[in-house]
Structure 1
Amino acid sequence: MSAADLDTCIAFIGAAERGYQNNYSDPGNWSSGMRYVGNLIGTNYGISAPTLTKWMMREITPSDMRTLDWATARDIYVAWFWNLIHGDDLPSGLDLMGFDHAIMAGPASALAEIADSAAVGLGTQATTLSRFRMQILQRRLDVVPDGFYGPLTSAAIAGQHNQHPALRILYVSQIQEIYYRGLGGSHDFLTGWLDRLSARTTLALQLSDGASA
């Protein structure tokens, strides 16, 4: 159970989102959820214009978005993102990976990735990792961090059950990176998405380690 992680996860998202912005290139800033369609409303605390419209049950204005308070944003986070991905039931660390990705890409995408990570075996998770992520895992397994999945790494994974949650987090991190790269966003958007993913993964591993200590 990871309900105790909720405040940490929300604090991470709040720091990453940094309040109001009104970027015409971002579909979430438009009332329709599609770029250049409808009214340019903006986003605040990661809450998109369509999401706030649904929450307030009326047409909203840029002023509504600009004056969105943190308490309301938090309520939306919990009701429509954390609860929808069943955050209370997820292992520590994986909850953050799903929750923050749900804010960025929607709960359906987050749920699909969580389900994927539960369905595939450890070997599939490991062979999917980038060299960089494999090196992170290998250091945790105390094997040579060469970035390649071989017999020694495979044996270490099989023998160190305490590292299986970390492997799952790194696997989800990998498929989230693939998702972001597949969106075809501008260089600035992609750089921001990947930087946030890196910070999310680091904190998720810390949460996982704290839960297993």
Structure 2
Amino acid sequence: MSKLTFDEAFKRLIGHEGKFTDDRRDRGNWTTGIIGKGQLKGTKFGISAMTYPDLDIKNIKLEQAKNIYKRDWWDALNANEIKAAIVFQLWDFAINAGMSTAKRKLQSAVGVADDGIIGPITLEAINSADLNDVLMKFNAERLAYYTKLSTWPTYGKGWTNRVATQLLYAAVDN
């Protein structure tokens, strides 16, 4: 279904996720996902210590990150079964806020039970809904989610800019 290839999506993603960071305030940079607990190993190419605590994050290569994103994120979302204009939105949000959160917010946007499973019921709801409505509702869900986080004052501007960029991609993909 998606005309957006993984390689194209990955090039877009790396525009947001390229640099190494070890910001102590970001729970994703800690191996336990809890600020101040575990090791501060950071995030590089969007691959975080919280999600991949056993990886040498600082020294991860771009090709390694690409393989991880294909296997653990793109394929896990059934990305090839989702409309191109939606798939990048979902994938980017999953990487930024977590797989379960992204799936549930998309399900809320299309009016199905938010069980975190992108299966036949969710796919049917996505495919039968007006594409622009899904994009608008999903990104509204995304922004509402971010504003409720305690880290909004620190990272909110960056998240808002990221969503704005995703909306531009949605217009191109639509």
TM range (shorter): 0.7 to 0.9
Residue 12 of structure 1 deviates from its aligned partner by 1.4
Tell me the equivalent position of 1:48: 48
Matches within 5 A, 1:5-84: 5-53=5-53, 59-60=54-55, 64-84=56-76
- How many residues align structurally? 158
Matches within 5 A, 1:61-210: 64-119=56-111, 164-208=130-174
**1:4 & 1:95 partners in 2: Cα distance?**
8
Report the secondary structure of 1:23's partner residue. Answer: coil
Structure 1 portions without partners, runs of 5+: 54-58, 121-162, 209-213
**1:81 & 1:3 partners in 2: Cα distance?**
17
TM-score normalised by structure 1 residue count: 0.69
Structure 2 portions without partners, runs of 5+: 113-128
**1:99 & 1:5 partners in 2: Cα distance?**
12
Stretches (4+) displaced over 3 A: none
Residue 186 of structure 1 deviates from its aligned partner by 4.5
Identical counterparts, % of pairs: 23
More helix by share: 1
TM-score normalised by structure 2 residue count: 0.84
Larger radius of gyration between Structure 1 and Structure 2: 1
**1:202 & 1:32 partners in 2: Cα distance?**
34
**2:34 & 2:147 partners in 1: Cα distance?**
19
**1:204 & 1:27 partners in 2: Cα distance?**
29
Q: What is the root-mean-square deviation of aligned Cα atoms in Å?
A: 1.7
